[in-house]
Amino acid sequence: MSKYDRKAPETLKLLETSFDNQDFETVLEIIRDLHPADQAKLFYELKADQQEILLERMEVSEIADIFDELDDKQTLVAARNLPLPFLADIIDDMDPDEAADLLGDLSGQDVRKTISLMEEPEEVLPLLRYADETAGGRMTTDFLSLGPGDSADTAIQYLRSTGLETDIPYYLFVVNNENDLLGVVGLRELVCADPGQIIRDIMESNVISVHAIQDQEEAAQVMKHYDLQALPVLNNRDQLVGVISHDDILDVLVDESTEDIYRLASVSDNALEPESRLFLQLKGRLPWLLLNTVTALIGSWVISNFGDLFVQVAVLAFFQSVVAAQGGNAASQNVAMIVRSLALGKVKQKQIIPILFRQIMVGMFLGTVIGLIVGVGVGFWQTNPYLGLVLGLALLGNMLVASIVGTLAPLLLEFSGQDPALASSVLVTAITDIIGFLIFLSLARLFLPLIQQYI
């Protein structure tokens, strides 16, 4: 817990009191005494009318710092009622990537008006060409570049004059007149170089980069794999158009993790929060619940075809859910492992068959152990060895099915261009439930005369 988090309740209370007393000077003093990240956190806690009062009294640069720290949805809500000329000034002062995100969330007419009112729209306009979830949508145009013929001393002077205005002063990118990326120079290399040494001689020419249209998750994997602090982004002509910083990649990892968790939990909208509007909650959750209802009805239909079994051996009804539940759990374990491995780029298409065989072996051993324990236990409990045998065999069979389905579903989705997390608990569990019921009840019918001998 940070120092601010420990003091947050009393700070918010003091702020509320100051608002009630209309002591806005104290309000500004409290806000200005905090780090921008803490300012944004406190700003979000305020009521809408308090936020408006605060925005009316703060400097443009101070508001821009807060907007840079808020997430996209929070920034849009805060900016929605601001006059467009005032909003244009704020966007001019924001980080280009954050400014582009805010502009992209405005209505088309407001975007055009706001851009026409901005003093430096050229820093933001290139970013609006790219979708939010691409490398281009995550990059910033706020970076430093040099020519290959510049000297180390010239580079240091350039850094002194502009370095404080950029978020990425620790790398300088070397480009030619056409803006082709030739190399990169780190701050350490510049400091250690002789003043007259040419940049071409000290730069690293083997530069890791991504293209602007690549998915943001691919960019995150590249940065993680090569342990980069900043990642240059190229257009389709291999010209340098932007840079992704390490803090932006952290946001990507959070977004992608949230998306995978929501998909695995059968929530289609990864922007949903507990306080989201009713319509959005229904839109994000209802379709999957309806699908779950349909699959549950299919499972019930399978069971209904064995209705005579339950009349003859009612105890079967007690144990069918055990088979289905264990199959669903095992399949969900497989899905989680495969989705994580795919997200980290650890699985290639040629590995599908070896991975499948490995998981079938694991499923066989898991099914044997669990089936043996449950089968023997139920056999003694119900004094019916054949009922235990049926339950044990059904568990083994369904665990094998779970291994196959839980492994293949996300892999096939990934290599067909879909999100592997779509192989969610609803989809995979539905299959294992239905097949589990079918295996258990089919075995029960096969062994029915033997089971009835012990009833």
pLDDT at 423 over 70: no
The average confidence (pLDDT) of the chain is: 84
pLDDT for position 327: 87
- State the Cα torsion 160-165-168-170 to the nearest 10°: 20
pLDDT band of residue 331 (cuts 50, 70, 90) is confident
pLDDT at 17 over 70: yes
**pTM: predicted TM-score of the whole model, two decimal places:** 0.64
pLDDT in tens, 352-367: 888 889 999 999 999 9
Distance between start and end Cα atoms, the chain: 61
* Residue 130 banded pLDDT, cuts 50, 70, 90: confident
Lowest mean pLDDT among 62-66, 225-229, 424-428: 424-428
CA 141 to mean position of chain CA atoms: 24
> How many residues are present in the chain?
455
Domains, the chain, ranges and CATH? 3-131 (1.25.60.10), 144-261 (3.10.580.10), 278-452 (1.10.357.20)
In contact, 63 and 86? CB cutoff 8 Å: no
Residue 116 has pLDDT above 50, yes or no: yes
Q: How far is 426 from 266, CA to CA, in rounded Å?
A: 7
Segment 231-254 shows an average pLDDT of 85
Q: How many CB atoms lie within 10 A of CB 164?
A: 8
Q: Write the DSSP symbol of residue 151.
A: B
The dihedral region occupied by 205, where left means phi > 0, alpha psi between -120 and 50, and beta the remainder, is: alpha
Q: How confident is the model at residue 5 (pLDDT cuts 50, 70, 90)?
A: low
Confidence at residue 1, expressed as pLDDT on a 0 to 100 scale: 47
Share of the chain above pLDDT 70, in %: 90
Provide mean pLDDT across the span 428-440.
Answer: 88
Identify the pLDDT of residue 284. Answer: 72
Mean of pLDDT values over 335-353? 78
Mean pLDDT along residues 207-225? 89
